[in-house]
Amino acid sequence: MIPTLEAYDISPYSGFLPAEPPLGRLPQGYYQPWEEVIDKLGPYIMGKRIREVINELPQLSINKLENEREMRRAYQVLTFLAHAYIWCGEPVEKLPSQIAVPCVNVSKILGLPPIATYASLCLWNFKKIDDRREFSLDNLTTINTFTGSIDESWFYLVSVYFEKEGSFSLKAGLDALNNAQNGQMKEAVQNLQLLAESIDMLGSILMRMEEMCDPHIFYFRIRPFLAGWKNMGSVGLEKGVYYGDEKTPRSYAGGSNAQSSLIQFFDIILGVCHHATGDLTADNSFLNEMREYMPKKHREFLEALEPYTFTIRDFVKSQHDEELTLAYDACLAMLKSFRDKHIQIVTRFVVLQAKKVNKMGSGTTLRSGLARKKQGEEKGTGGTSLLPFLKQCRDETGNAAAGSWGKRILTDGMLRLKYSKSNGVNED
């Protein structure tokens, strides 16, 4: 049976965001030592005191947390503190037990790794400024940040708003899947058209990133705190991080947009397959791994949807209907365009900023983690080779096209190539 949103803690109105607003503070006095530190996280980082302050925290149990909403808040607080501890200045390879033990315990209950994820940074890190007004970017603020900057808040909130508006895509996609399952061609056309329009709108939301988030500030001030401790030997964490008194280090990827369930939903519903970067014979293990960084029920939703990966595509191909084929290929075109926009953002915010590192003197700005890497292939906060991974995901999107014209345009860029040659444009 095709999965329903409600069965997996997904709202038809807010998508993968929680239907009930995230908790802004744990209510128990017992947990106020955590809350008091995160209240002053920015100043403690700026004064290079965060490790000293965390080392002085009492050892608290998670046994007084009463519901999942409180568990999510505790997870958010503890993962923010963990990243601040590891990445404030020269990275250290051990988390103190005051943070490590409760973080590991609450993560087990939530089915998440004990590290900052897209869920703790974005999905559970927002609130309305004015409850009487609508849910919009100009009426949202973050609950917590590392730097206290508008730029950091905006970086998270664009993703929050993206997820909220993505609820329309979820409904249109599932409706189209049900149409395909039941042989309803006219309705499938309508819902695929809605899905294409919705994905196009999400691309426009993504491009708002630079309105209030400066690429230089992001790369040198914010991004260092988002890195994980996997594949980070080049910046000081050879083995990963030891949690408390554990004898074996743990290795986890940092927060990444690949942990957005909405992005993987699009690929499944449209039959888009991804392979390992540079190896078209193997599945993309990184994308599969990123599911382990999603809230448990959202991960299970994607798993329940996987048996229907090619349902819409096969239905479209079987009907030989021009309007249906065009509607489906339009969805792929919009998804490929979205990935193009993502690459543009990454180029501005990461690749171009990384080129500045060698030109900057050692004392120009405080840098840690990924921001101090001076040469070699640029890595994402999730630990991947950044541009090769994103470009391959984009190019693979067109492979699912149903029509011959759509496949030619989406995979070969034939019209663009012909236009360039006829006008004497050098593609290089």
pLDDT band for position 419 (cuts 50, 70, 90): very low
Per-residue tokens: 60: 């608290």
> Reduced to 3 states, what is the DSSP secondary structure of residue 303?
helix
Torsion, Cα of 209, 213, 219, 221 (10° steps): -150
Question: pLDDT: is 384 or 12 the higher one?
Answer: 12
DSSP assignments along 187-234, one per residue: HHHHHHHHHHHHHHHHHHHHTTHHHH--HHHIIIIIGGGG--SSS-GG
| Cα radius of gyration rounded to whole Å, the chain | 22
**pTM for this entry:** 0.90
pLDDT band for position 382 (cuts 50, 70, 90): low
Q: Does residue 380 register a pLDDT over 70? A: no
Answer for the pair 114, 243: CB distance below 8 angstroms, yes or no: yes
Q: What is the pLDDT of residue 321?
A: 96
275-284 pLDDT tens trace = 776 666 556 6
Q: What is the pLDDT of residue 413?
A: 53
19-73 pLDDT tens trace = 999 999 999 999 999 999 999 999 999 999 999 999 999 999 999 999 999 999 9
Kindly state the percentage of the chain with pLDDT values over 90.
77
Average pLDDT of the residues in 206-226: 96
When mean pLDDT is compared across 14-28, 84-98, 100-114, 283-297, the lowest value belongs to 283-297
Mean pLDDT across the chain: 89
Query: Which residues belong to the annotated binding site?
Result: 342
Residues, the chain: 428
Q: What is the pLDDT of residue 391?
A: 85
Q: Which residues, other chains included, contact 182 with Cβ-Cβ below 8 Å and sequence gap of 6+?
A: none
The amino acid sitting at 34 is W
Q: What is the pLDDT of residue 383?
A: 54
Query: Which residues belong to the annotated binding site for heme b?
Result: 342
Domains and CATH numbers, the chain: 5-357+382-414 (1.20.58.480)
| Helix H or strand E encompassing 80 | helix 68-87
The pairing of beta strand 127-128 with beta strand 140-141: antiparallel
Q: Does residue 100 register a pLDDT over 90? A: yes
294-348 pLDDT tens trace = 999 999 999 999 999 999 999 999 999 999 999 999 999 999 999 999 999 999 9
Closest CA to 336 of 258, 270, 387: 270
When mean pLDDT is compared across 168-172, 208-212, 219-223, 394-398, the lowest value belongs to 394-398
Q: Does residue 219 register a pLDDT over 70? A: yes
